[in-house]
Structure 1
Amino acid sequence: MMLSRAFPIVSPVTTYDDDLRLAHVLADAVERVTMARFRSQDLAVETKPDLTLVSDADRAAEELIRSQLSRTRPRDAVVGEEFEPTGHGPRRWIVDPIDGTHNFVRGVPVWATLIALVVAEEPVMGLVAAPALGRRWWAAKGSGAYAGRSLTSATRIRTSGVQRLADASISLSSVTSWDAVGRTDAVLDLARDCWRQRAYGDFWSYMLLAEGSVDIASEPELALYDMAALAPIVTEAGGRFTSLDGTDGVFGGNALATNGHLHDHVLERIGL
């Protein structure tokens, strides 16, 4: 009599490689728009009701991304900075056409297009494309984090192994931005205890952290589209990304990212 042998049923692993490739295609298309307008003499700039700036390049870039997503991912929702959300369902593309608009309009090359995919309220893919710096960073859940010029020219990146504040490099937003949450003194005290203090700003602080050049990055006021693309890159590089109350993820309206080793201690110092 032959005995049957039972094998465990293995569920297929969900990957987001196709979505990541699409994000690169979107970034290629947007780059042609944004770089053509960067340092342009006829760039049109307006002040939005929340007193932030928006340029014609911001709107054109987001319109292009939305148009391409409507063709390639018609069932997915899209959330962006410049236009109302569209679509429904568990898959949402989160887009910031130009993160660092103030830099963009002043001719500073530190700005980027942020493209993320959130599935069931979890950021599972993120791409940060900074064409004026000639660099991109990207990650998909379970696939690691990478930096380079393109998918075919990439290096895997990792956060640092720094474990003491005295050896840490910290990047913060403007000091005055912390006034709104009443943490200015605590943040300054933390910065004084670190080896090096800088304010690289916007997406760049978090990408330098993912590469291991910075160990702590934090901002007290952020929108979903500011963070959604950053978190997968930081976490896949080995770091941790939470709100200032310690909740993992990108839905708390602020951010603390570290190499992981320093996270709990930093939360004790500046957490809300």
Structure 2
Amino acid sequence: MTSDPSLRDDLALALRLADAADAVAMARFDAADLRIDTKPDRTHVTEADLATERAIRGILDAERPDDAILGEEYGTSGDTARRWVIDPIDGTHNYMRGIPVWATLIALTVDGVPQVGVVSQPALGRRWWAATGLGAWTNGRDGEPRRIHVSGVDDIAHSSISFQSIEQWDDVDLVPTLERLARAVWRDRGYGDALPYMWLAEGRLELVAEFGVKEYDIAAIAPIVREAGGRFSAFDGSDRLDAESSLATNGVLHDDFLAFLHAEDAP
């Protein structure tokens, strides 16, 4: 093991972690006897969530023993500037219902800044990845890596957006703002979870906004959006990952969307 791995090395490792995670998660996807439990916060967790995170942690313990880890299911281990952030199955409710829209999210943050991100959706046969300075990529139809970039749409009225769920906006008393936004854009849909962020990075959407998110929900997404030329922030415009909100745009419209969503005359 090198004492100071480069981001290129870290990205290569993150992709191998995703390979291992895909194998574990897909082995139990849509299984009739899948074990499902309820966590103290009343959200669901499956045996696959736990097994997938254990598989990722096992590789990190062997290859990056000095790095810290934050995982949704097993919490935090270590306290260093370099920290791997893992959501073993983002979209557990889809996973446990046999809906193929779920992903493993793997990130590396350095001093709290996301530098490497991998979003792997094996049930759809798709994966996206990025590292600071190395661009954002996905697997093309032919299996070859293809660089991706956000759209150049520069008018909110011509934009296509994903708002995740109405419930999220209701929890922060912003349903009237969402309704106003939906009337202002060309198209709005609640696609949900990590996938719409990846569509944004590919230039298919111009905004994705979400509330109630944790660091492990968004750390892997941020570098992909940014390396694709977009912007990623909290709802207040800050770069914090602990603000429990996210706002991803094609960059061109980021300030316009922030101004629209925080307009003084907004309900």
TM-score, normalized by length of structure 1? 0.92
Match of 1:42 in 2: 33
Matched with 2:91 is 100
C-alpha separation in 2, matches of 1:269 and 1:250:
22
Deviation at 1:181, TM superposition (A): 1.2
- Could you say what secondary structure the match of 1:95 adopts? strand
Contact 1:134 1:149 in 2 (8 A): no
- SS of 2:130's equivalent in the other structure is strand
Partner residue, 1:164: 155
Identity of aligned residues (%): 51
More displaced 10-residue stretch of structure 1: 254-263 or 43-52 = 43-52
Moved over 3 A (4+): none
Give the equivalent residue in structure 1 for 2:165: 174
1:57 equivalent in structure 2: 48
Deviation at 1:49, TM superposition (A): 1.8
Work out which of the residue numbers 192, 195, 216 in structure 1 matches 2:186. 195
Structure 2: which amino acid aligns with 1:96? D
Range that drifts further, 258-267 or 155-164: 258-267
Which residue does the alignment assign to 1:155?
A: 146
Work out the CA distance in 1 between the residues paired with 2:262 and 2:29.
37
Match of 2:235 in 1: 244
In the alignment, is the contact (CA less than 8 A) between 2:29 and 2:98 conserved in 1?
yes
Secondary structure of 1:233's partner? helix
Query: For 1:77 and 1:133, how far apart are their aligned partners in 2?
Result: 30
- Equivalents in 1 of 2:129, 2:241: separation in Å? 17
Q: Is 1:22 the counterpart of 2:13 in the alignment?
A: yes
Q: CA deviation at 1:202?
A: 0.5
**Structure 1 position 73 matched with structure 2 position 64:** yes
Task: Select 1:136's aligned residue among 116, 127, 134.
Answer: 127
Q: Which SS does the other structure have where 1:245 is aligned?
A: coil
Per the TM alignment, residue 253 of structure 1 is displaced from its structure 2 partner at its CA by 1.3
Residues 59 and 149 of structure 1, relative CA distance in 2, 3 Å threshold? farther
Partner deviation per Cα, 1:10-49 (whole Å, 9 max, x = no partner): xxxx940111111111111111111110000110111212
Write the distance in 2 (CA, Å) between the matches of 1:228 and 1:91.
13
Kindly report the root-mean-square deviation, in angstroms, between the aligned alpha carbons of the 2 structures.
1.5
Contact 1:148–1:155 (Cα < 8 Å) also in 2: yes
CA distance in 1, matches of 2:148, 2:81: 29
Of 212, 216, 221, the match for 1:230: 221
Letter in 2 for 1:153: E
The whole-number CA distance in structure 1 between the counterparts of 2:260 and 2:167 is: 18
Select 1:184's aligned residue among 166, 175, 189: 175
Q: What is the number of residues matched between the two proteins?
A: 258
How far did residue 51 of structure 1 move? 2.0
Corresponding residue SS for 2:73: coil
CA offset at residue 250 of structure 1? 2.2
Instruction: Give secondary structure in 2 for the equivalent of 1:191.
Output: helix
Q: Name whichever of 15-24 and 218-227 sits farther off.
A: 15-24
Greater gyration radius? 1
DSSP 3-state at the match of 1:146? strand
Unaligned runs of 5+ in 1: 1-13
Deviations 1:133-177 (A, max 9, x none): 101000000111000179x72100000000111110000111121
TM-score by length of 2: 0.93
